[in-house]
Amino acid sequence: MADEDIFSADAIEKGRRLFTRAWTFSRGTPDLDHLPPDDRPEIAFAGRSNVGKSSLINALVGQLRLARASNTPGRTQELNFFTDPNDELYLVDMPGYGFAEAPKDKVAAWNKVLRTYLAGRRTLLRVFLLIDARHGLKPVDDEIMALLDGAAVSYQVVLTKVDKISKTDLEKVSENTRKVLAKHPAAFPQILLTSSEKALGFEDLRATIAQLLEAHGS
């Protein structure tokens, strides 16, 4: 679901069809030397460690184990690329950031890959920035948003785990997030509200991605 309903039935249906395909793992790369060719549009998912990126991707495509989900922060240590049977689109599961307990050299390596990828991938249509609805935006998220602003990469906030907080608290975190996003030039203003556990909000997320592909001419 979105913080406001803007999707037509046609847009929702296009999103549904896109993600009923049999998505598969393409490759994982721990560094920039092994990225796949930038021969198709890409949608990336970024967020703090343990925010629920892998679970969200699995719910998005309707497959239980496409992306490896874990309760252990920092498990995703590389860029993981997933593609559809038509090779029309890459979904990219990015390393989680902000995990202070990981070795400093490993954190530095992950952050370098993440930052360089975000700033230099010409086929990247949008980054979905996942934020745990229970905690809201943190300073480490501000750093990523500043990077995306500087690289002129479009990004959109997805609040995850919205089933874990009350409606009142969700309204508060949504409003606070909107106020912050208004100060960031590359941020798309609409916030998407999701719960992987309850399968909430995925019609809107799928419709958003389908519209991005359509606008790109794919």
- pLDDT tens-place string over residues 86-135: 999 999 998 887 655 567 777 677 777 777 888 788 899 999 999 999 99
Q: How do strand 42-47 and strand 124-132 relate by DSSP bridges?
A: parallel
pLDDT of 150 = 86
Determine the Cα–Cα distance for residues 115 and 151; give it in Å rounded to an integer: 10
Residue 152, CA distances (Å) to 127, 158, 185, 187, 188 in order? 11, 19, 8, 9, 12
Q: Which residue has the tokens 């307990």?
A: 101
Is residue 126 within a helix (H) or strand (E), and if so which, with residue range?
Answer: strand 124-132
CA dihedral 105, 110, 116, 117 (to 10 degrees): 160
3-state secondary structure of 66: coil
pTM above 0.85, yes or no: yes
Take residue 148 and report the two structure tokens written for it: 């995306």
Residue 156, CA distances (Å) to 43, 148, 207 in order? 11, 11, 14
100: left (phi over 0), alpha (psi -120 to 50) or beta: alpha
Q: Which segments of the chain have a pLDDT < 70?
A: 1-5, 69-77, 98-102, 107, 218
The domain segmentation of the chain, as residue ranges, is 9-216
pLDDT of 17 = 95
Determine the Cα–Cα distance for residues 138 and 128; give it in Å rounded to an integer: 16
CATH number of 9-216: 3.40.50.300
User: Cα angle vertex 57, ends 37, 203, to 5°?
Assistant: 115
